[in-house]
Amino acid sequence: MKELYGVQNDAYWDQGVRDKDIKTEAYRKSLEYSGRTAAAGELPGFIDYRKIVEDKAHWSIFKPVFDIPSRA
């Protein structure tokens, strides 16, 4: 996603993550960090990464890595 959207101003996060719940939870977690500022992109949970990967807008990027071909 960094290649698709770029890293300037965290564009991969702002434009690439379309689920507002994922962003809200990541920002909430960032407030819990004391003494260190965490980038929001570091904070999604495992299930959130799955949602990001399976988003129709991104599946073509991730399909070569995550698709399990059928054996039909």
Distances in Å between the Cα of 59 and the Cα atoms of 8, 16, 41, 55 are 23, 12, 18, 6
DSSP code at position 44: -
pLDDT digits (tens, 9 = 90+) for 15-66: 888 899 988 888 888 777 765 665 656 667 778 888 888 889 888 889 998 8
pTM above 0.75, yes or no: no
